[in-house]
Amino acid sequence: MQTTKFRGNPFYLGDEDIAWVENTLASMTEDQKIGQLFFLITYGKDAAQTENIVNKVRAGGVMCRCMPIDELTDVLGEMQKKSAIPLLVAANLEAGGNGIVAQGTLVGSQMSVAATGDPENAARLGEVCAEEGRAVGANYAFAPVCDIDYNFRNPITNTRTYGADPAVVAECASRYVRECQSRGLAVSVKHFPGDGRDERDQHLCTTVNDLSCEEWDKTYGAIYSRLIKEGAKTFMVGHIMQPAYSKALNPALKDSEIMPASLSKELLCGLLRGKLGFEGLIITDATTMAGFDAAMPRNKAVPAAVAAGCDMFLFTKNLDEDYAFMKEGVKNGTVTRERLDEAVARILALKASLGLHRKDNRPSLENALKVVGCEKFSGYAAKVADESITLVKEEEGVLPLTPEKYKRVLVYDIESGENPLGYARASGIFEKVRPLLEKEGFAVTRFVPRPGNEGKTMAFRDIADNYDLILYFCNLATKSNQTTVRIEWLNPMGSNVPRYVTSVPTVFISTENPYHLLDVPMVRTYINTYGLNDATLPCLIDKLAGRSKFVGKSPVDPFCGKWDARR
């Protein structure tokens, strides 16, 4: 590969940087080059995992799941100390520093940022992710999410996106990219060729972006083009098919031969590198997903991803096996020596563009404690919470809520289960809300269903005569490996359904999913918060009480196209 390309967008390397890339590449054995292709994962302090990453595989990068600040700085310090070539260190820094460190600031979901209507909040999000990330040893954000939330049934995009308007997505993502990279943290535009069209989850099957080439160019393509010009250093490719472009770029391609982007030379070399002109690093999305595994046998898919145009391979299902598959792919020519050198050169160029070869990359706990969770960043989070909360629809005369109008309040809380990947923003919503309501002077009762079927359920008068107000707090977070985000009502016979809306003033608050009006169209006062940070519930109470205005604007259609939900 011509390393002179690295002088331009997005790496902008000087002579000394290019010399380091060339000299390092020339000195590497084939096994060392193969190791650089792998981007592995760490969940915490684990001597065996550290050994695998830095000595056994000699990986090019490591992704961190969220862990305590002292453990994180220790783990990354040890890994960088033992690595002959500095490691790329990444995390899902989509909503704040909380994506990598337990004490990090949760600024807000990308959708909450978009709901503020102020792109400067996207820049603030980028600032927090970069500063808190770098303080604990990260140099790479697996963000921003540049998917467009066209399909309200998609269980994974949702609040992780900047919404359904490509122009808003482009502007917010651009501000994030600019701010993040100016502070020394590489970004990863994800998930090319674009999630949000399909209602399925690529963790569970290969999904589809079904737009025509012309429609794609005006939407996803326009976003990607802008971010490439903005200097985004890397793209993360999804296990998502784009049939229109695959066939346009290869008319001989049969339907059965269409591959997800992570395995598609048409989409990677023809579209992303060719038509869009991207010269940065391409990394797969997690290859542990069924969307990748189901496309072809894994022994073929592992090297095929690199052969198709991916420079780095994210995660392994079985470390020894996948490493052996990659080695065999190089040996049998699936990955040519030229293609291997090209991928490794880009990996080294990304590292050089971040200056990793010129500095000590071990984080300082003392410095991290000064940056992570600081007052300035907490202020950003409070600002996003205050400006994003959206009053979607309002029944005349219900708001504001005061104990003089509604002394006796019945609270229905609807919770999601534990989320192992950390997308859920909160749990125990009733325990958080109750003291805030009681401080306002309300007498609060939690709804508990009464056992029994027809003829034996709770009487209408039990609710209508004993409560002045009904509040719903629905905390159902989107997450991977699920097929839908809908409310599952309690037995018997949906006992917690909003059935008293014509008898008792009712307010429904969704703290996570902005699309619950699909299931509660009868509700006449409905509010979205797009997630919970430390400031969200206090800000919400202020707005319900009339001390603060609702100023958030929905970045998506909260009515899900249903006419009855608007009534």
pLDDT of 132-162, one tens digit each? 999 999 999 999 999 999 999 998 999 999 9
Listed residue (224, 226, 281, 218) closest to 244, CA to CA = 218
Mean pLDDT of 227-241: 98
Condensed to tens digits (0 to 9), the pLDDT of residues 159-207 reads 999 999 999 999 999 999 999 999 999 999 999 999 999 999 999 999 9
pLDDT confidence bin for 421, thresholds 50/70/90: very low
pLDDT tens digits, one per residue of 339-383:
999 999 999 999 999 999 999 999 999 999 999 999 999 999 999
pLDDT at 455: 60
Using one digit for the tens of pLDDT, what is the confidence trace for 519-536? 999 999 999 999 999 999
320 is annotated as an active-site residue:
no
pLDDT, one tens digit per residue, over 71-118 is 999 999 999 999 999 999 999 999 999 999 999 999 999 999 999 999
Q: At residue 299, does pLDDT exceed 70?
A: yes
Query: What is residue 76's predicted lDDT score, i.e. its pLDDT?
Result: 98
Tell me what the mean pLDDT of segment 214-243 comes to. 98
Cβ-based neighbour number of residue 456 at 10 Å: 10
Largest distance between two CA atoms of the chain:
83
Residue 425 clears pLDDT 60, i.e. is over it? no
Q: Of 289-298, 320-329, 487-496, which range is least confident?
A: 487-496
Q: Which amino acid type is present at position 358?
A: R
Using an 8 Å Cβ cutoff, are 232 and 189 in contact? yes
pLDDT score for 264: 98
pLDDT in tens, 2-46: 788 999 999 999 999 999 999 999 999 999 999 999 999 999 999
The 10s digit of each residue's pLDDT in 388-406 is 999 999 999 999 999 999 9
Which tens digit of pLDDT belongs to each residue from 439-470? 999 999 999 887 766 666 778 898 999 999 99
Average pLDDT of the residues in 259-274: 98
For residues 275 and 420, the model is more confident at: 275
Percent of the chain with pLDDT over 70: 97
Q: Which residues contact 167 (CB under 8 A, 6 or more apart)?
A: none
Average pLDDT over residues 489-506: 92
Res 1: pLDDT: 66
**Run of H or E residues at 128:** helix 120-135
The DSSP bridge partners found for residue 284 are 237
Please report which confidence band the pLDDT of residue 417 belongs to, taking 50, 70 and 90 as the band edges: low
Which tokens in the block code for residue 194? 């674009």
The whole-number pLDDT of residue 156 equals 92
Active-site residue, selected from the candidate residues 285, 322, 413, 519: 285
Which H/E stretch holds residue 470? Answer: strand 469-475
| Distance from C-alpha of 189 to C-alpha of 228, rounded to nearest angstrom | 9
CA-to-CA distance for 484 and 482, rounded, in angstroms? 6
> How much is the mean pLDDT over the chain?
95
So what's the pLDDT on residue 480?
Answer: 81
C-beta atoms surrounding 294 within 10 Å: 14
Average pLDDT for residues 272-287, to the nearest whole number? 98
